[in-house]
Amino acid sequence: MSKSELDMEFNQAVDRVNAYKEPFPADTLLKLYAYYKKATNDYGRPKSKKPIINAFKTNALFQVKGLSEDEAKQRYIDLVNSYFLYGK
C-alpha cells in the first residue's frame, strides 16, 4: 500500500469513528487514542480533567512508543475495521 493510500484509508477510518454515535468500549477507545496520537505525531499531554483518565491515556501512549507513524495508522485502520465487523 502506498503512503497516499494509507493516509486516505486512515482518514476514512478516523471519519468513521467520529461519525459513530454509540459509545466504544474503554479499551478500544484507549487503543484508538494511542494509535491516532502516534499516527499524527501529536505528543501533547492528555487533557482530561480526571487524573485517572490521563494516567490511562499516558499508559496507552507508552504502549505504542515503538511504532512508526505508518504502523500506527495501519493498526488504527485494522482496529476500526475489526470493531465494525465484529465489535457491535
pTM equals 0.90
Backbone dihedral region for residue 46 (phi beyond 0: left; psi -120 to 50: alpha; all else: beta): beta
> Whole-angstrom Cα distance, residue 12 to residue 76?
11
Closest CA to 70 of 7, 21, 19: 7
Domain ranges of the chain: 3-15+28-87
In CATH, what class is 3-15+28-87?
mainly alpha
The mean pLDDT value for 20-40 works out to 95
Q: Which percentage of the chain shows pLDDT scores above 70?
A: 98
